[in-house]
Structure 1
Amino acid sequence: MPSLNIQRNDRVQVIAGSDRGKQGRVLRVIPDSNKVLVEHVHIVKKNVRPNPQKNIKGGIAEQEAAVHVSNVMLICPNCGPSRVGHKFEGDKKVRVCKKCDQVIETKGKKK
């Protein structure tokens, strides 16, 4: 399984495509296909069938579709959108902003 520089709950900005310039939070990472699901970005319409057993009304629903990782850029809290590097702090590998050389904290994994 490939490793990605972007993780869940990161803030990213879309740098290519019809939603260029939009910012959002990563809802889900799909490493097998190198895609991420970003909140309020790449909205598509989906036809939904009614299901009375689950109280689902039919119609046209809008939902987010996956965006390729190469089309988004991580937003550094200090300097804005930037590329991501890695370095070792002790025995841990951490993400580093390429512009300001600050460590980018991971929100999901705190110990």
Structure 2
Amino acid sequence: MNVRQGDLVEVISGKDRGKRGKILRVIPKENRVVVEGVNIVKRHVKAQPPKIMQGGIQEGPAPLHRSNVMLVCPHCHRRTRIGAVILADGRKARKCVRCGEIIDR
């Protein structure tokens, strides 16, 4: 996957198109990501007996398919595709296709 946990992404299709948020979780087997503040759904939760969790209707983010999000470059602040580059020390890094900057974490 070209996006990782903690990356800033923008939704490019669906009901939340144009919204930006940080990736909270990546689910590689399903090709899905959970983005903060995007694709909010309501879940009906049953209360747990020893007051671990209160019952009721809770809101939270649901997973999106990774093809519906695009990485936002931390340098040029625009959504971009990701390229791969091998650094001088032999490590593989991600590169912004628009501005050419290395995206480090």
Give the TM-score normalised by structure 1.
Answer: 0.88
Task: Find the aligned partners of 1:48 and 1:18 in 2 and give their Cα distance.
Answer: 24
Matched, 1:38 2:38: no
Q: Which amino acid aligns with 1:95?
A: R
For 1:21, what is the secondary structure of its paired residue? coil
Give the 5 Å matches for 1:1-111.
Answer: 4-79=1-76, 80-90=78-88, 91-106=90-105
Tell me the alpha carbon deviations over residues 42-101 of structure 1, each in whole angstroms, 9 at most, x when there is no partner: 001100001231342211100110011110010002221111010100211100000001
List gaps (5 residues or longer) in structure 2: none
For 1:82, what is the secondary structure of its paired residue? coil
RMSD: 1.0
List gaps (5 residues or longer) in structure 1: 107-111
Give the TM-score normalised by structure 2.
Answer: 0.93
For 2:58, what is the secondary structure of its paired residue? strand
Percent identity (aligned): 47
Task: Find the aligned partners of 2:52 and 2:85 in 1 and give their Cα distance.
Answer: 50
Task: Report the Cα offset of residue 105 of structure 1.
Answer: 0.9
Task: Find the aligned partners of 1:53 and 1:11 in 2 and give their Cα distance.
Answer: 38
